[in-house]
Amino acid sequence: MPELPETETIARDLDAALRGAVIEAVSIVRDDVLREASAAMFVRAVRGARITRVSRRAKSIVLRLERGVSQGSTDRVPDLHHLVVTPRFTGALLLTEPTDERYTCLRLTLADGRTLRYHDIRRLGTIALHDAARHTAWDATLGPEPLDPALDADAIWNAMRSSRQAIKTLLMDQRKLAGVGNIYANEALWRARIRPTRAGKSLRRLEASALLESLRAVLTESIALRGTTFRDFQDAYGSRGGFAAKLAVYGRAGLPCNACGTPFRTTHRLAGRQTVWCPTCQR
């Protein structure tokens, strides 16, 4: 599932390519990916709108749409909407033609002739239509962003120290910290030398500082390499991310730790996801 580096890569690509573009036509091929709007409402809100910004929030790509004209004689379309695209496992926002059009769920044709497609083989991703109030409410359900300079170690420490849940589980809780998923939680905890199965309340203040530093480092490094692709993730131009070769922990169960040589251990007991750690380095 795309995490912060992957969705950040897509958002940056699309912001550079689409800022200022006008959506001339909307073709909904699979309406089961839509959320919080019927197909008719979606078309009415999106067609004719200008894309003024593309950004990321948590694991979602957000297209900000603005307009200032009325549609119809009595009803006015609100001036501001957001499309919140959450790709999940196989979703992709593409500016290039996909290899198989059977999995295209949505096409947005731009006034300059280009097409933005939402392509999703398993159709587990979603596209939500938010007006301004709904978008504010959605944003408020999410925790702070780990790359936000305003976030400090005390915030991480306070978010974890009252809980008996595993530190890794808390790290991936989007209400506490936005954008972190299984891959980068494993990597950051190994770098910070913290065992992922420990209870949140056991985290010490100095460890919280090390965790935040490690998390920011691994996320920044992955963004620089345009994310991690094992199978499905592709950027807006259909290319793969390059960070998989740099992973020190994730997917390496039973292999020797790069730091001490001890074989990595693994469990699936934390949220059903693969957790990998070094029993020597991570305490």
Burial code (b: 16+ CB inside 10 Å, e: under 16) for 146-185 equals: bbeeebebebbbebbbebeebbbbbbbbeebbbbbbbbbb
CA dihedral 249, 145, 54, 104 (to 10 degrees): 40
| Beta bridge partners of residue 116, listed in sequence order | 108
Question: Catalytic site residues?
Answer: 2-3, 59, 273
d(CA 198, CA 204): 11
| Beta bridge partners of residue 34, listed in sequence order | 127
**Residue among 140, 175, 176, 173 nearest 158 (CA):** 176
Reported as type and span, the H/E element at residue 266 is strand 265-267
The CA–CA distances, whole Å, from 122 to 204, 207, 219 equal 41, 39, 27
